[in-house]
Structure 1
């Protein structure tokens, strides 16, 4: 932990200070734009009040702002406390970083909550309370209806402020998220805990943003117009309100439809690319994204296609390297004995014939071929005087030979990564099992024997019978197939014997 503290703490403290400073600046920007620029301008330019009422309103607004700042400061401190804890504690465990990361990731949403609850209510409740008392005791010469309009107007202004705060905060959290991701990745080797998590879908973000941009100013204009009209000509107020209501309905409908169109235009290519990436994640490198877009998504789709093409090429190269690796191992093994040269390669060819004949998927056939190439790898561990003996083996020597499937499995288990070799182990270990249970090393019977083991047993036996040995000549194809036929159900699985005979005759 000392390394983490000394190396990351200075950088982290600077990043944290920049983060908090940016949040404060964002808040001030949003307040100036929404509260002072929009709300304040509308209030003081719309209301026609006396100088004394103007002073009372300013005083009420000032008191409300002080209470709002105090309330919001408490909530902000609670929101930022898990992040601040990282830089106040020397016990920098992984859990502290993860908790801080999760909080930072949610900060744009929390900023909306902070504006719409402690910010708005912190100013609204004392302001409305003071105004109602002043109106009741005739200190403030305004109708009660204005208080209701002020509540509605302040809600609209808070909504505009929340939208500005959300987007500014989304940009502000990026550097500090990067810092915490780096810490979690090294030295903890832990991925960011919320990678890929969607807190606010694009569709919702666009819909709400366009509605706020398109509708709230319209509503504020309507309210301001209603107030101004009521102060000048009460008779025309009702007609004006009917007119402004119709304008609002049309404006809201148009803004909603425009937001829906815009969100769909963004969501559709994102959903398409997300589905294609899921296919790539599952190993399909043949997918390609269409490019029917005339905006930046065209570049994104082209970049995706370029990436997948590169991945496919790399996958082909890796497959060639792996195949060469297996073939080289098999050749190295066969080179120990000139009489078994090419044995593993031929067994692989026969196994592939059987696998395709019984309808195995190509991915399974590929694994079967690799298992066949390495099925005798354990013979590396058999001493030469036994493995290369010209004559018939003694019982003791045969017992030594019988260990090669287990030795082969043990060798392959040491190859990293483990998942690469795992599918090959059953075939390597069980290719000398017999269908009647009299084989080795485990004495498995029938379908207890792994699939690859039963197929390799047929392919291995056929090649052994048809290949020359120091003590005998190889059999003819017909004779070897006849022996396989007679051993169905005892030494070999009938299904795979029939498949091999059918494919080779």
Structure 2
């Protein structure tokens, strides 16, 4: 409750200070205006202002109580769920915008409308002898002052809620083990916020001075046409500069933020080759430098992780091949052949990396096959052959046990389907044609070529030209014709060179 009590005290202090400044501003306009009225009329005038002020404060207190209630309940009672805390967190973030509504609404409906209505009424019945013209200027002046106050209240509230948000975040981690976040949600855009702020800061002095001059004139008819032409011209020029300046300043701040946001988006989808350009000479240059420095660190770490992962896959493949001295190096050779086919098929780099890993692990399921079956010298029985045919499924099951599961997901189809045939006569699923996953069709060609050209205890490996001839005969039936042709053509070009 200490943080909440401090927060409420700060809001009340900000409100009191802003209210005093508003009253001084409005009072100054009244005092400086050339009113020629007696003491009784001053009584009626200040009575109108007093009643309007009381109504405004009452309405504003009611609105403030309603706005702050969910946050107060959160701190006075125990939070029961993370979703409830998330709602309070979101409500707290909305308080600056709600503060603007809290200022504008009560001032308009609680002060401006009653004050002007009573003012016009008392002038009509003769209690006040001031011109209607002054009441019209008063409306303009109150709107102007209240608008500036709303802007100030927005920024003061934005500053005041930060300790409260920090406390809510700490509660969330402590009570529910989750982090509170907006998830990138923008409650009020920086463009909208800064444009209105810069415009009001630029326009306020011009409009306030124009209002003061009109009060001093006392009537529209006291100035000739030349004065009004000059006054309108200056006012338009001043407001035009405020309008243009607000957009230029907003763009100057928005552009570097947008530039960094776009680069962050590229990093988020895995593109570490990007980087922010040093296009800015102010403090944003430090942000760009920090971002690029952080990105270089991520690149180094990612390279190390990839190196470790490659070593991990190669070690797994080597451990599998070590079970059978006659197939030593088989997984590495299949991976090399498969990647070459992928390059010829113009696969993107990320797919080539995944293809290599899938090829390295394509026979990982043989770990689950008994040695007396896997290493048997003679012909396999039907039962033993059925066991061998289970190694793609076993390989998929083994890889599914590795965490995180999504890291293994790209390799599973290639591991499971590398013994499928293009004509649908393969195993384990009997897939046909393009139903067979891409990696499975590529690895099938590479695996078959290396199997045919490798020595076995019961036979010597055939020469590569013979194996190429078998691939050519089997394309379109056993193997995907596209990938078989790519491999065959590459082999023949290699022979000619």
TM-score normalised to the size of structure 1? 0.92
1:390 aligned to 364, 372, 377, which one? 377
* Residue of structure 2 equivalent to 1:28: 16
Structure 1, 365-374 or 188-197: larger mean CA deviation: 188-197
1:113 aligned to 83, 101, 111, which one? 101
Matches of 1:121 and 1:240 in 2, distance apart?
Answer: 35
1:175 aligned to 154, 163, 178, which one? 163
Deviation at 1:277, TM superposition (A): 1.4
* Residue of structure 2 equivalent to 1:211: 199
Structure 2, unaligned stretches of length 5 or more?
493-497
Q: Mapping of 1:252-401 within 5 angstroms?
A: 252-401=239-388
- SS of 2:218's equivalent in the other structure is helix
* Residue of structure 2 equivalent to 1:99: 87
Structure 1, 411-420 or 380-389: larger mean CA deviation: 380-389
* Residue of structure 2 equivalent to 1:9: none
* Residue of structure 2 equivalent to 1:248: 235
On the 8 A contact 1:436/1:490 being kept in 2, the answer is: yes
Structure 1, 292-301 or 197-206: larger mean CA deviation: 197-206
Matches of 1:239 and 1:189 in 2, distance apart?
Answer: 71
Matches of 1:47 and 1:176 in 2, distance apart?
Answer: 48
Structure 1, 386-395 or 470-479: larger mean CA deviation: 386-395
Structure 1, unaligned stretches of length 5 or more?
1-12
On the 8 A contact 2:421/2:477 being kept in 1, the answer is: yes
Matches of 1:111 and 1:195 in 2, distance apart?
Answer: 23
On the 8 A contact 1:115/1:162 being kept in 2, the answer is: yes
CA deviations over 1:64-94 (Å, ceiling 9, x no partner): 2211111011111111122223234435222
1:160 aligned to 141, 148, 161, which one? 148
Structure 1, 196-205 or 335-344: larger mean CA deviation: 196-205
Structure 1, 16-25 or 193-202: larger mean CA deviation: 193-202
* Residue of structure 2 equivalent to 1:223: 211
Matches of 2:330 and 2:321 in 1, distance apart?
Answer: 7
Tell me the number of residue pairs that the alignment of Structure 1 and Structure 2 aligns.
491
Deviation at 1:51, TM superposition (A): 4.1
Matches of 2:183 and 2:39 in 1, distance apart?
Answer: 57
CA deviations over 1:32-77 (Å, ceiling 9, x no partner): 33x1232222222334444444444333322222111110111111
* Residue of structure 2 equivalent to 1:150: 138
On the 8 A contact 2:55/2:110 being kept in 1, the answer is: yes
Matches of 1:39 and 1:465 in 2, distance apart?
Answer: 96
Deviation at 1:131, TM superposition (A): 2.4
Matches of 2:200 and 2:433 in 1, distance apart?
Answer: 71
Matches of 2:292 and 2:79 in 1, distance apart?
Answer: 46
* Residue of structure 2 equivalent to 1:5: none
Matches of 2:434 and 2:229 in 1, distance apart?
Answer: 83
Matches of 1:41 and 1:321 in 2, distance apart?
Answer: 74
Matches of 2:183 and 2:376 in 1, distance apart?
Answer: 60
* Residue of structure 1 equivalent to 2:482: 495
Matches of 2:181 and 2:291 in 1, distance apart?
Answer: 25
* Residue of structure 2 equivalent to 1:199: 187
On the 8 A contact 1:226/1:237 being kept in 2, the answer is: no
On the 8 A contact 1:330/1:377 being kept in 2, the answer is: yes
Structure 1, 315-324 or 174-183: larger mean CA deviation: 174-183
Deviation at 1:212, TM superposition (A): 1.2
On the 8 A contact 1:433/1:457 being kept in 2, the answer is: yes
On the 8 A contact 2:199/2:245 being kept in 1, the answer is: no
1:81 aligned to 52, 69, 73, which one? 69
Matches of 2:105 and 2:335 in 1, distance apart?
Answer: 71
Matches of 2:215 and 2:117 in 1, distance apart?
Answer: 21
Deviation at 1:259, TM superposition (A): 1.2
On the 8 A contact 2:390/2:428 being kept in 1, the answer is: yes
Matches of 2:9 and 2:108 in 1, distance apart?
Answer: 22
* Residue of structure 1 equivalent to 2:495: none
Matches of 2:260 and 2:438 in 1, distance apart?
Answer: 38
Deviation at 1:238, TM superposition (A): 6.6
CA deviations over 1:316-343 (Å, ceiling 9, x no partner): 1111111111111111111111111111
Matches of 1:492 and 1:214 in 2, distance apart?
Answer: 74
Matches of 1:486 and 1:448 in 2, distance apart?
Answer: 21
Matches of 1:214 and 1:375 in 2, distance apart?
Answer: 69
1:443 and 2:426 aligned: no
On the 8 A contact 1:226/1:241 being kept in 2, the answer is: no
2:468 aligned to 471, 477, 481, which one? 481
TM-score normalised to the size of structure 2? 0.93
Matches of 1:492 and 1:136 in 2, distance apart?
Answer: 99
Deviation at 1:268, TM superposition (A): 1.6
1:132 and 2:120 aligned: yes
